[in-house]
Amino acid sequence: PIPCVPWQSQTSGQYQRRVHGERALDTMNFTNIRGKPCRIMWSQRDPSLRKSGLGNIFVKNLDKSIDHKTLYDTFSMFGNILSCKVAMNEKGDSLGYGFVHYEGQEAATKAIEKVNGMVIASEKVYVAPFKPKAERGGLDQASFTNVYMKNLPEEWDEKNSNLDS
């Protein structure tokens, strides 16, 4: 059995036989526990694979009906998935994007080639390699020239709000 403390959001368990862990993955993964989907994955003791980003893909423009299990089922045909998640808000509603982390880069590349541009649940999805925030091209701050100001005193006119002077 898996040791679990009720107030924790995460726990880990160790089985004496791999087949028992596989059965837990097959039967319990994505089942609702206290209104939230349970996500089960193999423990990765070596964080280098996760930190390297190899095999990690980003999926956007997901239909709001796509949940963790549907995303997993869609992408599992390309290789062994280490982690799969649809981003959700506080209410548990989909934010329209998700992440799939494969055991190897080859599976991720195959998934990108086959699924990018495909229509899933009436939405054309975009699939690409995941990029950490530091590597993403942010907005060019120099290109913004307008600001929005509110709650100004009623007696102010354009002359008072001109910041160029």
Q: What is the pLDDT along the chain (165 residues), one digit of tens a residue?
A: 444 444 445 555 666 676 776 676 666 666 776 777 666 666 666 666 666 778 999 999 999 999 888 999 999 999 988 888 999 898 889 999 999 999 899 999 999 999 999 999 999 999 999 988 777 766 555 666 667 777 777 777 766 666 555
- pLDDT, position 6: 47
State the Rg of the chain over Cα: 22
DSSP output for the chain: -----TT-S------SSHHHHHHHHHHHTT-EETTEE-------S-THHHHH-TTEEEEES--TT--HHHHHHHHGGGS-EEEEEEEE-TTS-EEEEEEEEESSHHHHHHHHHHHTT-EETTEE-EEEE---GGGS----GGG-------S--TT--HHHH----
Q: CA of 68: how far to CAs of 34, 74, 76, in Å?
A: 16, 10, 12
- pLDDT, position 9: 53
d(CA 59, CA 55): 13
- pLDDT, position 7: 44
Residues 6 or more apart whose CB falls under 8 angstroms from that of 39 comprise 29, 30, 68, 83, 84, 85
d(CA 28, CA 116): 29
- pLDDT, position 21: 67
pTM, two decimal places: 0.65
